A and B are shown apart, each in its own frame.
Chain A
Amino acid sequence: MKYLMLVCVNRSADEGAGDLGRPVGAAPDEIDVDSWVEEMDGRGVRLLGEAIRPESDSTTVRVRDGKVLLTDGPYAETKDVIAGFDVLDCADLDEAVEVASKHPMARSNVVELRPFWE
C-alpha cells in the first residue's frame, strides 16, 4: 500500500526558518531528518521524498469554464503549510503510522498520511 506522507509545519513557528523550513530554535537532534531518510530508505518503505519551497512560491491551478486560472500562493489559507512530502510503501496503516511517528517533524509539527487511490 502506498501512502503520501505530508510534512506540515506551523507557519508562525516557521518564520525566519532556514531553507529547509526547519523550525527556529529546534534542537539539532529534533530535526535530524537525514537519519530518518537513511533508515526508511534502508527498510525500503520510502520510495521518494523532497522538501518543498514555501507557499509564497506556490501556484494554484484551477480550470473554470474552460479557462485555466492561476493564483499565486496556496489554495487553503491555514496556519499550517506543507513543507515536504514522502511517498511510503508499507504493508498497512500500522506500519505507515510507525514510520511517520519516527519522522522528527512528527514531534514538533504534524505529519499526515494519505493513502494512494488504488
Chain B
Amino acid sequence: MVATAYTDDWGRIVAMLIRLAGDWELAEECAQDAFAAALARWPTEGIPDRPGGWLATTARNRAVDRLRRSAVEAGKLRDLSRLGEPTPVGYFPDERLELMFTCVHPALTKEAQVALMLRYLAGLRTAEIARAFLVSEHTMGQRLFRAKSRIRHARIPFRIPPAQLLPERLSAVLAVLYLLFNEGYAATAGTNLVTAGLSGEAIRLARLLTTLMPAEPEARGLLALMLLHDARRSSRIDQHGDLVILAEQDRSAWDRTQIAEAVALLEEALAQRRPGTYQVQAAIAAVHAEAPDTAATDWPQIVGLYAQLARLAPTPVVELNRAVAVAMADGPGAGLALVDRLAATGELNDYYLLPATRADLLRRLGRHSEAAVAYRRALELCGTDAEHRYLRRRLREVSAPTS
C-alpha cells in the first residue's frame, strides 16, 4: 500500500514541498520522512481514508517544523510569515507541472534534466538512476547535487513558463521524456533491466503530462508514440537477443490493448488540428501496428506521413526513413535513388543506418556485391551487438555463392 502511494504521490508531495520551502533538499527529506512514517504506522493504525492527503499533511507538517526551527535559530522570525495560515488536513495541491518545467530548464544540462525528472517526479532513488545510466552512485549524487545547487543559486524559477517561453519549454519536456523512453527501449531485456525500466517511467510521466496539459496534442502524440513502440517490445528481440526487423516480427505477440489505447489517444490529438512531429510519428507507428503484415501495410499512406514529417522536421534521418517507405511503396529502385541523393549530401556519413539501408535495397535489387560493400561499411559504424549480428547475417546472405 505504501509502495502504491509512493508511485502515485511522491512527485506531487515533493512539488508541494518545493513550493512551500523553496528548498529541494528539504523537500526531498520531508517527503521521505512522510513515507517512512506511513511504513511505521499504517500496518498497525490502518490505512487512512485518503492516503495521499495523509502523506501530504505529514510531509507538510514536517517541513513547517523544520523551517520554523531554522528560522528561530537564525533569528529570522519574520520569515515564518510566509508559512501562512494552517492549511486544512488533506490539502494537497498539484504542482507537478511546475516541477516538470523546472527540471528541464535550459540552464541545466540534458544529463541533469533527465536525472532530476527521474529523482523528483518519478521518485527513483539515486542508486537506481545511477545504475540505469551506468555511472556510480557517487557520480549521480554529485550530478543531482550540482543541479539542485544551480536551481537554487542561479534562481531558476519554479513555475509554468509564461506564454512566450511555453512552446520551447514544452518541447524540452517532451524531448527529455522521449530520450528517457529511447534509453530504455534500446536496452535489450537481460542486458540491463534497470535501464529497460526507463521506458515504463517515461510512459508514466508522459501519461501524467497529458492529464496536466490536456490541451496539448503533442503530449498525447508522444504518449501514443511511446505506447505503440512499447507494444511491440517483446517481438523486437528473439530468444538469442538478436534484433528482429519489423517485417519479421511476430505480430501476434504485439500488445493489442495497448495499441488500441494509443490509437484512441492519437485520434484525440489529431482532432485538435495542431499537428506536430510526435503526432505524425505516432501516426506512422499506428499504420504499422494495425497492418496484418508488411505486404498488407498501407505504404503510400506511410510515404505521405513521412513527407509531412519532413516538412515539420526536415532532417536527414527523416529523409532516410522516407526513402525506406518509398522503397516499400514504389519498389527498391525508387528508394535507392532517394538514399543515393541523401548519401551525396554527406550529412549522414557516420550514421550506420544509411549504408545498412542502402545495402538492404541493393540486396533486394539483386546487386549482391555492391550490397556486401555497403553491409561492411554499416558494420564499421554500427553500435549495439544485436544490430551487429543482424548485419552479419545479411552480409552472409549476399556473400553466399549464387548459382
Contacts and interface: CB of A to CB of B under 8 A. Distances in A.
B153 A115 contact: yes
Nearest to B158: A92
B157 A92 contact: yes
B21 interface: no
A1 B107 contact: no
Interface residues of A, number: 9
Interface in A62-118: 91-94, 97, 113, 115, 117
Given A93-B107, A94-B165, A97-B107, A113 B154 contact: yes
Contacts of A92: 155-157
A76 B221 CA distance: 49
B161 interface: yes
Interface in A5-61: none
Nearest to B162: A94
Interface residues of B, number: 9
Given A93-B107, A97-B107, A115 B165 contact: no
Contacts of B105: 93
A104 to B, nearest CB: 21
Interface string B138-163: 00000000000000011111000100
Interface string B75-114: 0000000000000000000000000000001010000000
B393 to A, nearest CB: 51
B165 to A, nearest CB: 7
A65 to B, nearest CB: 32
A93 B157 CA distance: 7
A101 to B, nearest CB: 12
21 contacts: A1-B155, A91-B157, A92-B155, A92-B156, A92-B157, A93-B105, A93-B107, A93-B154, A93-B155, A93-B156, A93-B157, A94-B156, A94-B157, A94-B161, A94-B165, A97-B107, A113-B154, A115-B153, A115-B154, A115-B155, A117-B153
Interface of B: 105, 107, 153-157, 161, 165
The 10 lowest CB-CB distance pairs between A and B, nearest first, are A92-B157, A1-B155, A92-B155, A115-B154, A93-B154, A93-B156, A115-B153, A93-B155, A94-B157, A93-B107
Given A94-B157, A94-B161, A115-B155, 9 more contacts: A1-B155, A92-B156, A93-B107, A93-B154, A93-B155, A93-B156, A94-B156, A94-B165, A115-B153
